[in-house]
Structure 1
């Protein structure tokens, strides 16, 4: 099992914890549910990184073949779940701005804004890679944006 599987699982558990805590104290909670749904789409896509990491590190050929086959089946949906995550997160942001205003001195709003900008660039880089340039440079950019997205989401949960 990849180190990323453990990190993804920890972030998912942390997200569930934050959502249940948020639902218990807020009277309006559509923004929480939208944020969590967008997060689920992101973490679904980001788990592919854990699958690829496991493929690179596992010694059993059967396991590699099984994981590669699973990843190949999910690949056509990868770009659409990324777009869905972006759309849902933008709706989450609209609800947040309506409730709390756009105040970048608030760390929760700042980290959410940075995560949403990062997600936009992540989605655009994925489509750019698919349609225009599938070079190693763009692939590495896409992966690094995924890692930074993971970090921004973690920071968003902290604040």
Structure 2
């Protein structure tokens, strides 16, 4: 298995812990649920990276075939899940700004704004690659934006 499965699992557990801790100490807010839902959609799409990494690194041909068939079934939904994640995260951001005001000196809002912009670029690069230019250069950009999104989510959770 790929190390990305472990990273994804750790981040998922951390997110569930943060949301549960937030709900135990505060009134459940819609913006928290939207942020968590958007995160789950991103993580669903990002797990494909772990699947592809596993396919490249394992020697068992039957496992490679099973994982490739699984990924092929998920592929048609990948772009719509990513677009849905973007829409939900933008709603999350609007509700946060409505509730707390837009203040870039607040690290949570700053990191969330950077992550939202990165997610916008990630989704646009995915659609661009599908509809206009499927070159390797765009694919590498898309994967790089996905990795940076993963890191930005971690930073957003820290603050």
TM over 0.5: yes
Q: Shift of the alpha carbon at 1:82?
A: 0.1
Per the alignment, residue 124 of structure 2 pairs with: 124
Alignment of 1:46-61 (within 5 A): 46-61=46-61
Residues 1-159 of structure 1: matches in 2 within 5 Å? 1-159=1-159
Aligned mates of 2:31, 2:3 — CA distance in 1: 31
Aligned equivalents of 1:78, 1:84: Cα separation in 2: 10
Cα deviation, residue 28, structure 1? 4.6
Q: Provide the aligned length of Structure 1 versus Structure 2.
A: 159
Give the Cα–Cα distance (whole angstroms) in 2 for the partners of residues 66 and 39 of structure 1. Answer: 26
Bigger drift between 48-57 and 16-25 goes to: 16-25
* TM-score normalised by length of structure 1: 0.99
- Structure 1: where are the runs of 5+ without partners? none
Provide the secondary structure at the position in 1 that maps to 2:102.
coil
Displacement of 1:23:
1.1
**Whole-angstrom distance in 2 between the partners of 1:17 and 1:155:** 16
Residues 68-98 of structure 1, C-alpha deviation per residue, up to 9 Å, x if partnerless? 0000000000000000000000000011001
TM-score, length of structure 2 as denominator length:
0.99
Q: Aligned to 1:105, what secondary structure does the other structure show?
A: coil
Q: Considering only aligned residues, what root-mean-square deviation do their CA atoms show, in Å?
A: 0.6
1:120-159 deviation digits (Å, cap 9, x = unpaired): 0000000000000000000000000000000000000000
Q: Where do 5+ consecutive residues of structure 2 fail to align?
A: none
SS of 1:122's equivalent?
A: helix
